Amino acid sequence: MRTIAVVGTSVAGTRAARSLRDAGFDGRLVLVGDDPHVPYDRPPLSKGFLAGTLGEADLALLDADDEADLALELRLGVRVEHLDAHTRRLRLADGDEIGVDGVVVATGGRARRRPGGAGVVGVPALRTLDDAVALRTALGARPRVVVVGAGFLGAEVASTCRTLGLDVTLLDGAELPLAPVLGDRLARSATALHADHGTDVRLGRSVARLRTTTGAGPRVTGVELDDGAVLPADVVVVGVGIVPNTAWLEGSGVRLHDGVRTDAGMVTDLPEVVAVGDVARYDGAGSSDAPNDRAHGTRRHEHWTSAGEQADVAARNLLAGRTTVTFGPSGYFWSDQYGRTLQLAGHPGPDDHVEIVDGDPADRFTARYTGPSGNTTAVFGMGSPRAFGRLRRTELVRARQAA
């Protein structure tokens, strides 16, 4: 291959560029994306950057030396409009075209928006650096904040706002939002963390409509719930997932369905096109994934660790021209909330038993998940990073050796 384009400047795209060089690719490497900023890390956007303890320079994924070492050609602030697989050309929004021999799709997704929120002042998204800058500015006015969605992003935003001393309500339609990931017992501990720090938690309730001022330039004033209750709000942050950015691939021959469909090696139906990160929907049934993941067939992983793991696999397969290795996620992710780090490693199943190994579930603790056969499937820690690290090394290594 002479030219490879990585489309998307997220951590997945940046890691893919590094992986291609590490795997021996010495041709032209173009990193192109519509975000005008030099590639940056996204997890701090809802935490340290939003709180004002980190600046833009702290987020950078590349510096001048990295760009030189990787021999990267950066095309920032320009959108890719179409991939013509027959001529192997990328058409850009500025009218330029790039001839390619291989493509890494790392376009991620855009934040889902609340219906009725378009054009309303005080209903920001939080997906990009510019989004975070705008939200951080808005928080400086000491607003009343409602966060819609109590997943990890919403939980982190609520935590940051409370750390800033703001009046915060966290809202979710599920009775126990993190139960599908952590199981009921540990999800309760994670949810209780909010109330313990003064966040008003409203679960099992959905948004009926946003209340706004009338006239030109409407501004949000509150959130009306499905039970008729009204939550006063000056800022409403919606954290209910993403919509994969795939429109530019329509008609290209790449199969799309809630993301870019790939095999277990992150390779699409076109062997010269691979996908990584939030946008990639990979075939879990054919990978070395955990049994409970394989049962779900295809999956998308929206985690920082997975993005890097996928990039390593995708780079090797792209250069090989076929799938030679498959993606087996480690299942590790973390979230920082209220001064505590929540960490999970492994692949817990819905019927797993949860055992508290040490600490107090109401404060700081570690826990082990065991499957029906008694094997350790995952470990979890809240506010106990060292104990979590030890448990992860001992339990999961032992489980792999016994497999």
pLDDT digits (tens, 9 = 90+) for 131-178: 999 999 999 999 999 999 999 999 999 999 999 999 999 999 999 999
Q: What percent of the chain has pLDDT over 90?
A: 81
pLDDT category of residue 217 using cuts at 50, 70 and 90:
confident
pLDDT at 201 over 50: yes
CA angle 75, 76, 82 (to 5 degrees): 70
pLDDT for res 397: 61
Residues 61-89 as b or e (16 or more Cβ within 10 Å = b): bbeeebbeebebeebeebbbebbebeebe
pLDDT for res 350: 87
Closest to 152 (Cα-Cα) out of 130, 109, 182, 196: 182
Residues 6+ apart with CB under 8 A from 374: none
pLDDT for res 288: 44
Q: How far is CA 209 from CA 144, 159, 205, in A?
A: 17, 24, 12
Contact, 132 vs 153, CB < 8 A? Answer: no
pLDDT, tens digit (0-9, with 9 covering 90-100), for 21-46: 999 999 999 999 999 999 999 999 99
Eight-state DSSP code of residue 55: -
State the number of CA atoms in the 13 A half-sphere of 387 facing the CB.
17
Q: How far apart are CA 199 and CA 176, in angstroms?
A: 16
Q: How far apart are CA 259 and CA 299, in angstroms?
A: 9
Provide the strand spans (E) within 114-253. Answer: 144-148, 167-172, 200-203, 207-212, 220-225, 230-232, 235-238, 242-244
Looking up tokens 């990584």, which residue turns up?
Answer: 276
**Per-domain boundaries in the chain:** 3-110+242-320, 113-238, 339-402
pLDDT, tens digit (0-9, with 9 covering 90-100), for 305-320: 899 999 999 999 999 9
pLDDT for res 398: 64
Within this chain, domains 3-110+242-320 and 339-402 share the same CATH topology: no
Contact, 280 vs 105, CB < 8 A? Answer: yes
pLDDT for res 285: 59
Closest to 43 (Cα-Cα) out of 341, 300, 302, 304: 304
**Amino acid at the residue 335:** S
Query: Which pair of structure tokens corresponds to residue 107?
Result: 């376009």
Contact, 146 vs 237, CB < 8 A? Answer: yes
| Domain 113-238: homologous superfamily in CATH | FAD/NAD(P)-binding domain (3.50.50.60)
**Amino acid at the residue 305:** T
Q: What percent of the chain has pLDDT over 70?
A: 95
Instruction: Name the pairing type of β-strands 80-84 and 72-76.
Output: unpaired
Per the DSSP assignment, residues forming a β-bridge with 298 are 283
Contact, 7 vs 103, CB < 8 A? Answer: yes
**Amino acid at the residue 381:** G
The residue with greater pLDDT, 99 or 117, is: 99
The residue with greater pLDDT, 288 or 19, is: 19
Eight-state DSSP code of residue 272: T
At the second CATH level, the architecture of 339-402 is 2-Layer Sandwich (3.30)
Residues 6+ apart with CB under 8 A from 140: none
pLDDT at 322 over 50: yes
Q: How far is CA 278 from CA 173, 249, 311, in A?
A: 23, 15, 11
Query: Which of helix, strand or coil describes residue 90?
Result: strand
Contact, 116 vs 34, CB < 8 A? Answer: no
In this prediction, residues 170-188 reach a mean pLDDT of: 94
pLDDT for res 117: 78
State the number of CA atoms in the 13 A half-sphere of 19 facing the CB.
22
Q: Let me know if domain 3-110+242-320 sits in CATH 3.10.20.600.
A: no
Q: How far apart are CA 74 and CA 54, in angstroms?
A: 25
Closest to 265 (Cα-Cα) out of 257, 256, 275, 255: 275
